Structure 1
């Protein structure tokens, strides 16, 4: 958290306009925004200095009138680059530095925290064990098992406790997480029955509990079966842990049949208390699985039929229909559009890609491109159809509240719109 606040403060020093920020920038940064070497610094700057290189590397300039971007030394050293930049269509504002990872181009505390946390290792089952229909304590137990944080006898011995290690369930082998929850003979019988219910008994070939969870995460069931599959695995593991503790601390007996009965009772409670557990597919295997686990199958509702009409423009107007795609959030974005006249004849079409982004950025890109092409063709009576209410609002209000990397293009689009009849 401290690094997040330092990153935000360093960004203010790099581009801030307050007198204190300007003094720090002149004192400790060169003309390119890099930290000056061998400068006697006060205590705060020592922390800020660590964040400056990454911010400078990950930031871009929005080229405007050139008031900030070109120093005399830069122009003298790179005249060709300056010439190539100056012939580009630029904005009417001053140059502004933006952070490329931010939609608005600014550093917030949340963004800074995310930047410092993104190096944490990610596991495939990370989001799989947390579900609304699974009690949190069962998910936490699975998390502790998969991270080897459960206090089994081998972990206690590793922490310095002197005690014999043997399995309280089978009383044959030494106790470990993989033994208690996967290789123990008493536990294997439970897994065998449970996996037969789900028709995936081949998962018994997994070598340990971690590989079993990875394989379970990759299973491709229908949405309803997936809900019971996740809940069943986490309930099974949690119940084994609870019954093992009763054997250790209460001198109880371990019975695999009680674990299986507990799972079926919980499946019944899930069906009664949660209405949005998905539906089964039309495959007969899904109906066999629901019968095995003792729940009612829920078939998908038939799709609603909706009439869709396309209205041609009137007179000499041109209508452009846009469509966009984004592979993930964020992911590669693309946009396209088709121009038609009042006779429904195709007058032109376009397709454009623009790297990584969100869906609303793809919609914005489609409108910018369609307006630019229409202006170049002289189609000044233009009817634009877009799926995004955000983009429609921008067109109506002429707002400049857009992601930073589209600011120059959007300002140019607003200027072009003054010549259109929309």
Structure 2
């Protein structure tokens, strides 16, 4: 009615339904209506008529199924607020809210640093309480101060990632899908606690005249992250990189349930024979590759082992090289009964 510009006072007289203008699954609009409303033909031409007869009903075009819910109407009329990708990372159920609050205020530039107080009209001589060599601002205190950089350099060594950021919000990019849920928590907790304890060290220096060495601060960060990780039920992946990360923060590894458990039994070779179990693998195809093998006799006694770093290669090539090295090793040892 709105598209055809039908006057409001005529709406109550419109009693016909859509099904009255459909005949044999095709539009059948009276000529008088097409003459009165020329745009009606173009409007109906863009509407596909279903092959099956359906009951007429009102549909909400802004939803995928045509149903209108209270949530749909609210989202349609409300003003979209700011969306922060880091908000759910900071406010984590396994991170104490007191620490999340400090990180959140820092990300919003709401902490009472000298720069922020000056913007509010409270002017005072400014000096960073940690390095005592520059004006105190949110950017300087948490990112460019020598004291803070020592903390971030330590975190870089733990994560094997460069933690030099232009903005504190960039730090939370480290929490990504490549990590398991437990390691994502550890990374988030480490970043939040780094911010919290830097602010703690600043307050201790300014108000209590107590200097805390940055290495002591690292011990506090590890203890806080360990508490968050060990109290969590999240799972970790079974790989060496995540194991090393969790070990650095003294967090026990929660393994996920195995999708399928398959029993594998090793059988010794027949009498007077030697068996070699060899394998090759690559990280990527091609990628960093290596191969190795283990020799045992009919009594399951250990006879020898080998391992070689092949470099950049494919998994097939690593498998073949592993088999060839096993044969060469057996030949050099004079093991003729070898398999």
Structure-1-length-normalised TM-score: 0.50
| Equivalent of residue 234 in structure 2, options 259, 266, 277 | 277
| Equivalent of residue 170 in structure 2, options 200, 207, 211 | 211
CA contact 2:109–2:138 (8 Å) conserved in 1: yes
| Equivalent of residue 259 in structure 1, options 207, 217, 232 | 217
CA distance in 2, matches of 1:135, 1:193: 22
Indicate the RMSD between aligned Cα atoms, in angstroms. 3.6
| Equivalent of residue 130 in structure 1, options 67, 91, 105 | 91
CA distance in 2, matches of 1:84, 1:128: 45
CA distance in 1, matches of 2:19, 2:253: 62
Aligned to 1:171: 132
Q: CA, structure 1 residues 117+249, in 2 after alignment: closer, same or farther (shift >3 Å)? A: farther
Q: Which runs of 4+ in 1 moved over 6 A?
A: 33-37, 70-73
- Superposed, 1:255-404 pairs within 5 Å as 255-274=213-232, 276-282=233-239, 284-304=240-260
Aligned to 2:282: none
CA contact 1:222–1:281 (8 Å) conserved in 2: no
- Superposed, 1:32-111 pairs within 5 Å as 32=3, 63-65=18-20, 75-76=34-35, 77=38, 78-79=40-41, 82=44, 89=51, 91=53, 93-94=55-56, 96-102=57-63, 105-111=66-72
* 1:173-220, Cα deviation, whole Å (9 max, x unpaired): 1111111111111111112122212222x223x233233333x23473
Q: CA, structure 1 residues 75+157, in 2 after alignment: closer, same or farther (shift >3 Å)? A: same
Structure-2-length-normalised TM-score: 0.61
CA contact 2:142–2:198 (8 Å) conserved in 1: yes
Q: Return the index of the structure with the highest Cα Rg.
A: 2
CA distance in 2, matches of 1:248, 1:209: 23
Q: Which runs of 5+ in 2 are unaligned?
A: 9-16, 23-28, 263-339
CA distance in 1, matches of 2:30, 2:137: 66
Which of structures 1 and 2 has the larger relative contact order (alpha carbons within 8 angstroms, sep 6+)?
A: 1
CA distance in 2, matches of 1:84, 1:185: 66
Q: CA, structure 1 residues 32+228, in 2 after alignment: closer, same or farther (shift >3 Å)? A: same
Superposed displacement of residue 75, structure 1: 3.3
* 1:283-329, Cα deviation, whole Å (9 max, x unpaired): x22232222222233344322369xxxxxxxxxxxxxxxxxxxxxxx
Aligned to 1:185: 146
Secondary structure of 1:99's counterpart equals coil
Q: Going by fraction, where is helix more abundant, 1 or 2?
A: 1
CA contact 2:153–2:163 (8 Å) conserved in 1: no
Superposed displacement of residue 271, structure 1: 4.3
| Equivalent of residue 202 in structure 2, options 232, 244, 248 | 244
CA distance in 2, matches of 1:107, 1:279: 41
CA distance in 2, matches of 1:197, 1:97: 58
* 1:137-173, Cα deviation, whole Å (9 max, x unpaired): 3223222222222221111111211212221111111
CA distance in 2, matches of 1:224, 1:147: 26
Superposed displacement of residue 125, structure 1: 2.1
Secondary structure of 2:87's counterpart equals coil
Q: CA, structure 1 residues 82+225, in 2 after alignment: closer, same or farther (shift >3 Å)? A: closer
CA contact 1:153–1:165 (8 Å) conserved in 2: yes
Q: CA, structure 1 residues 87+233, in 2 after alignment: closer, same or farther (shift >3 Å)? A: closer
CA distance in 1, matches of 2:110, 2:20: 58
1:145 partnered with 2:106: yes
Secondary structure of 1:115's counterpart equals helix
